[in-house]
Every structure is written in structure tokens, then in C-alpha cells.
Amino acid sequence: MSATAARASLPAVWRRLWPEVWKHRGRVGIALAFLVAAKLAAVGVPLLLKQLVDTLDRTPKPLAVPLALLATYGALRLATTLFQELRQVVFARVLARTSRQITLRAFEHLHALSLRFHLGRRTGAIARDVERGMSAVADLLDWTLYTILPTLLEVALVCSFLILRYDWTFAVITLATLAAYITFTFAVTEWRIRYYRAANEADTEANARAVDSLLNYETVKYFGNEQHELRRYDASLIGYENATVKSLKTLALLNIGQSGIVAIGLALLLWRAAAGVVAGTMSLGDLVLVNAFLLQLSVPLNYLGMVYREVKQALVNIERMFELIGEPQEVSDLPGAPALAPRGAEVRFEHVDFGYEAARPILRDVDFTIPAGHTVAVVGTSGAGKSTLARLLFRFYDPTGGRITIDGVDIRAVDQASLRRAIGIVPQDTVLFNDSIYYNIAYGRPEATREEVVAAARSAHIHDFIVSLPDGYDTPVGERGLKLSGGEKQRVAIARTVLKDPAILVFDEATSALDTRTEKAIQAELADIARERTTLVIAHRLSTIVDADRILVLDHGRVVESGNHEALLARGGRYAQLWALQQRERLSTPADAV
């Protein structure tokens, strides 16, 4: 989190949470009624205790009088707890659902952000921010609505009674104690919140480094850098340790100061009450009442101080999640954008310009058409902008110039969900979810039946392999699919795309990481599913796209050649040079091991 990040305030946070809370206004009202009943019962306990003491201090009355008071005293004690618990039962759903809805909104927004944001994110840090924000939302609602407000109500009731029942000195001492307590608590809490924020930032940093290291477990092992990773992780943990120690030390100072203020106020009020008893202006019951009231008041006061600290800390936890929710969407739908309804699925790039950074253009005046049902391949050296074409077609980014159309409709004019439903991709690096093979194939169309999933696996020629495994389709694939070989992962990716049944296909160097024998087998499967579909093939190995209807040669973001394989070879230009170079490399490389 940046040092310049806006700090969330309680009113601002409440304005954002209130629409969710208001959906449950019936439960909120009932819970508030239970809460008021609990506080009235709590204030009634000392009053009844005074009556009991005064009754026993006078000439003994029939035993029924004290027994009645004792029974009422017990009933009020029970009512205090009963109403508090009933409040908790009624309000629990509001807390849980509001927290869930806010967190779901953050998760949805993260998926709506552009690829540019996700390429620069730190997954572990974001996960930790959302996790803390989720728990903080529930805590903030509970503490402010059902802890701070009722505590203030109880303080007001007790102070009003002391002021009205006894002389002005009780009011002065009580109000001075409250003012000193609140001023001290707010001042010290504001001072020490910096240490809590620092601890949070150090915790987020440590978690991000740990997740990053574990995700790259193999790389760590390849280079023998376990100790290096431990040192980096420990550097973050040291920051967290130091910030936590400072936070705990300042917490002790705050608690001592709060207790001292309450103790002084309590001693002064008891001195005034004892003086009243000696002077005959107050009874022993009054002394007990003042003592009970102040002891009762000190509990919520101490609790209020803790809650104020927790509220400030919750705001720190929420502010990062709200920053994520407030992260602007680089690519968004136009209001009322219709769904894309592809007919023949003709794809056209019309004089497209694009750069990830303004000073570094990637594509320059790219103009080509993929007729419906045809296959167009794009080749070129690394960095020529080939994969950028696929990202623009999926609308992960918008072109800085020109436009992309499907059946003559600008893809910026339709909603993104329908656009991406119409396109299927088999990427170079297939990353699978840490779940079963069945789940990963079904991800292409989650509502598909098991028969459809199996049919897709057969089309990708992976069904026989799956059923040969001990757990069949329920076999877990591991983190990022690492339990499967490269060829097996690619076949899962093909099956997933077949199941999606898109009108447009994109093969983004889908076989470049495979050995020659596996590549040939998978290439045949790709050609089969591409039949009669509009297909964009991004290729490194030219041998894989010789049958394409048209081949584009991309160089420094420009289309420098266009034609089929034979025509481009006959031209003797850039494509012919790349073909000759790859043929020499193939002849000089030993056969791939299988």
C-alpha cells in the first residue's frame, strides 16, 4: 500500500456499507430493540440493588419484600444477557451477508480489471488484503452499530441519573472523567495506529513473498536458492515483528492510561458518596448505587476504548479492499451494450495501432481480415506483436487506433462476456486449476453434462489416457497442472475449448513448447477442431501453419508480407528467410526424445 493512499474514514466507509445493511433493515430494527432492552435492564440492576440495601438497612420487613427484590434482581441480570444474545442471533445474518457481498464485489471487480493490472499484481498481497477486509467489514458493523452506540446510550443513562439524583459535583466528576478518558484514548490511538498500519503492510509483504516463492518452487530448486528465499522472507517477517512489538508496547501504555483515569474518577465519586453518607444526605444504598454505577460504567468505557482501537484498525484493513474496488477499469462495456451474436464470425483488424506504453508502440497500422470459416496464421520473430493480436481480440486491451470487428460490429460496442463466449483459445502455456481433470475440461462450459465433457475429451484424444488413471476423470492435476506432462495439459486445453464450442478459435503458439512427435499429434487435433471455424493461429514453427488459408508476416508491429505458404516462399522475402532458417535448424537438431 502506498504511503499516499487515501485513508478511509468511518463516515465514508459507512456510506459505502449502508446500502447493503439497509437491505436487512427489518433484522437491524429488531436487533436494536433487543439492544435497548438489554441496556435498560443493565441500568436497572444498580437501582434495584440500592432498593435492596436500603430495605435491609431499615427495620426488618416481612421476608417477602427482600425475596421479591432478589427475584427481580436476578430477572434483570438474566434479561441483560438474554437480550444481548438475542440481538446477536438476529444480527448474525446481517454481519455475515454484508461481509460476503462486499467481498464478492471486490472479487468480481478484480476479474473485471484489465490484464495490465493483473500483470503487475502480487497475488499473495491481494489475497491477504481481501481476506483482512472481509473480516474487518463484519467487525466494523458489529462494533459501531451494536457496541459503540449502546455504550454511549448506557453512559448517557447513567450520567443523567447521577446528575438528576445527586448534587452537581457528581456531574462534574463524571463528565470530567469521561472527557479525560475519551481525549486520552483518541489521542493515543491516533498516534499508535501508524504501528498497526506498518504491521499490516509488513504482513502483506511477507505473505506476497511467501506465495510468490511457493508458486515458483521448481525455479527455487533449479537454482538452489532456498536460503536466498528464506532471507527475503525473513526480512519481511523482521519488519512485521518490529512493527507488532511497537504496536503491543503502545497498547500497554494506552491500557494503563485508561485504567488510571477511570480509577481516579471512581475514587473521587466514592469520596463524594461516602461524604454524603456521613453527612446524612445519602443512604448506604446510594453509596452502593454510585459504586455499582461507576463500576458498570467503567466496563463499557474500557470496552469503548478497545472498540475505538479496533474500529481504527478495521478501517486500515478495509481501506485497501476499497482501493481495490475503486481501481478504475481500463476496459469497460458501454451502457446498454448488446450481446455479440456472431453469424459467420468474420474477424477484421482495421488499421489497428496499439502500445502497452505510449512511448513504446507494439502494433502499427495492422490491417487484415479472417473470412468466416477460414484460417489465418501470423508469424514473426519474438516481440513482433503476435500475441498482442489475441489479447486485443479478447479485448483485454482496446486499440489506441483503428478498430476490430466481428461480422462488421466493433467489439467495443458489445458486452465483453458475450465477446469472450464466442472465442476459444488454446494457449502456449496451459495453466490448469488445482482440481480434477474433469473440472478443468468442464471449465470450458461449466453447465455441460458429463457425457458432453467425455465427448470433448474424446475429440482431444485424451479420454483413453484419463480412464487409464486410477482415479480417472477425478484425478487431481496439481498446482497449475504440474502433475501432467506438457502434451497432456495441451490436450486438456483442447478438450476445454472443444466443449466451449466457440465460433472463433485462437491458437497462440499452442504447440511451440512440445517435442516434435507430440506437436504433430496435437497439430492434427487442432486442425480437426478448427475445421469450418474462423481461426487465428499465432505460430513460431512455420511447419505448423503451411496449410493456413493465409499467412501474415509481422515485423516490428507491421504486416510486411501476406499470402499462402507457396506464394510467400516464391516471393523470397522475410517469410522465405524464416522458413530457410528453421529448416536448417531442424536438420542440425537431433530427433526429439520421446
SS3 state of residue 552: strand
**Confidence (pLDDT) at 1:** 38
Is 10-325's fold the same as 338-422+506-594's?
no
CA-based end-to-end distance of the chain: 49
**Residue that the C-alpha cell 473485471 belongs to:** 112
Q: What is the pLDDT of residue 442?
A: 92
Query: What DSSP state is assigned to residue 508?
Result: E
Edge-first strand listing for the sheet containing 423-427: 423-427, 504-508, 534-538, 375-379, 550-555, 558-563
What confidence score (pLDDT) does residue 9 get? 67
Q: What angle do CA 364, 365, 370 make, to 5 degrees?
A: 115
Q: Return d(Cα 432, Cα 81) in angstroms, integer.
A: 52
Rounded Cα–Cα distance for residues 318 and 136 (Å):
6
The distance between the two most distant Cα atoms of the chain, rounded to a whole number of Å, is 124
- The C-alpha atoms of residue 401 and residue 398 are separated, in whole angstroms, by 9
The answer to whether 368 touches 357, Cβ cutoff 8 Å, is no
Give the pLDDT confidence score for residue 4 in this predicted structure: 33
The backbone torsions φ and ψ at residue 245, rounded to the nearest 5 degrees and listed phi first, read: -60, -45
Residue 554: beta bridge partners? 559
Ramachandran quadrant class, 373 (left: phi over 0; alpha: psi -120 to 50; beta: rest): left
Could you read off the pLDDT tens digit of each residue along the chain, which spans 594 residues?
A: 333 334 556 777 777 777 777 787 888 788 888 888 888 887 777 777 777 776 766 655 555 556 777 777 788 878 888 887 888 788 778 777 777 777 777 777 777 776 677 666 666 667 777 777 777 777 777 777 767 777 777 777 777 777 777 777 877 887 788 788 888 887 887 787 778 778 878 887 888 788 778 877 767 776 778 888 888 888 888 888 888 888 888 888 888 888 888 788 878 888 888 888 788 777 778 777 777 777 777 777 666 667 776 777 778 777 777 777 777 777 788 888 899 888 888 999 999 999 888 778 889 999 999 999 899 999 988 777 888 898 899 898 899 999 999 999 999 999 988 998 899 888 877 888 888 999 999 988 889 999 999 999 988 888 999 999 999 999 998 877 778 888 888 888 888 988 988 999 998 877 665 666 666 777 777 777 778 889 999 888 888 888 889 999 998 889 999 999 999 999 988 889 888 888 887 666 554 443
- The burial class, CB within 10 Å (0-12 / 13-18 / 19+), for 483 is middle
Name the residue with cell 482431444: 460
What local confidence, expressed as pLDDT, does residue 66 receive?
65
Q: What are phi and psi of 282, to 5 degrees?
A: -135, 150
Answer for the pair 135, 95: CB distance below 8 angstroms, yes or no.
no
Instruction: Specify whether the CB–CB gap between 358 and 52 falls below 8 A.
Output: no
Sign of CA dihedral 41, 47, 52, 53: positive
Contact assessment for residue 529 and residue 498, using Cβ atoms and an 8 Å cutoff = yes
User: Looking at residue 472, what DSSP letter applies?
Assistant: G
- Residue with grid cell 433493515, as numbered in its chain: 25
- What's the confidence (pLDDT) of residue 2? 37
* CA–CA separation, 513 and 51 (whole Å): 87
Q: Which residue stretches of 413-572 are H helix? A: 416-421, 437-442, 450-459, 463-468, 486-500, 516-530, 565-571
Burial of 352 (0-12, 13-18, 19+ CB in 10 A): buried
Q: Determine how β-strand 504-508 pairs with β-strand 401-406.
A: unpaired
Q: What homologous superfamily does CATH list for 10-325?
A: ABC transporter type 1, transmembrane domain (1.20.1560.10)
**SS3 of residue 555 by DSSP:** strand
- Would you say 523 and 537 are in contact if contact means Cβ atoms under 8 Å apart? no
Tell me how far apart the alpha carbons of residues 167 and 171 are, in angstroms, rounded to a whole number.
7
CA separation for the pair 104, 134 (Å, rounded): 9
Q: Element (H or E) spanning 365, and its range?
A: strand 363-370
pLDDT score recorded for residue 58: 61
DSSP state at residue 358:
T
> What is the per-residue pLDDT for 359?
77
Q: What are phi and psi of 446, to 5 degrees?
A: -55, -25
* Closest CA relative to residue 395, chosen from 108, 104, 116: 116
- What are the cell numbers at 122? 502480487
Cα 125 to Cα 77, 265, 323, 325, distances in angstroms? 47, 46, 13, 15
Is CATH 3.20.20.70 the classification given to domain 432-501?
A: no
CA neighbours within 13 Å on the CB side: how many for 47? 12
How many alpha carbons lie under 13 Å from residue 12 in its C-beta half-sphere?
10
Classify domain 338-422+506-594 at the CATH class level: alpha beta
Residue 122 phi/psi, 5-degree rounding, is -120, 105
Domain parsing of the chain, residue ranges: 10-325, 338-422+506-594, 432-501
| Residue 8 CA to its chain's centroid (Å) | 17
